[in-house]
Amino acid sequence: MVNAPEAAPSLRLATVCIDCSDADAMADFYGRLLGWEVTFRTPGWVLMRDPAGGTGLSFQAEPGYRAPVWPEQPGQQEKMLHLDIKVEDLDVAVEHAVASGARLAEYQPQTRVRVLLDPADHPFCLFLD
């Protein structure tokens, strides 16, 4: 006799936490970039929620933080994740991101995507659908 599966628990991804050296600087940058407000702050950790109800972001300061290298290089700190942000106008979005404090990465692997680096050197992508 096969046992009936248990009901799956209710799970919902609420926040992506990004390690960095300065949580406040990261929250300031992503607040400018996305137009979000800080919803909770404690020393070394900041939470931001998507006002539209999507997944939020938090930033955690780590004393031994090592910035990732883009593009990835053998023997160097690799990225663990990156954010993909859908945009309607790539040039306008890149201009806004740079004005918010991002840097355009030298290496750009695709024509409909722009890789930028946040203040902690995490790559993130702006892309056209």
Q: Which domain holds residue 80?
A: 15-128
Does the residue 10 lie in any domain? no
CATH number, domain of 62, equals 3.10.180.10
Does the residue 7 lie in any domain? no
Does the residue 1 lie in any domain? no
Does the residue 8 lie in any domain? no
Distance between CA atoms of residues 65 and 19, nearest Å: 7
- Above pLDDT 90, what percent of the chain? 88
Does the residue 6 lie in any domain? no
pLDDT of residue 93: 97
State the total domains in the chain.
Answer: 1
**Can you list the pairs that 76-84 forms with residues at least 24 positions away whose Cβ atoms lie under 8 Å?**
79/122, 79/123, 81/16, 81/18, 82/122, 82/123, 82/124, 82/125, 83/16, 83/122, 83/124, 83/125, 84/124, 84/125, 84/127
With a cut of 90, say whether residue 1 has pLDDT above it: no
Region 65-79: what's the mean pLDDT?
A: 95
pLDDT in tens, 8-40: 888 788 999 999 999 999 999 999 999 999 999
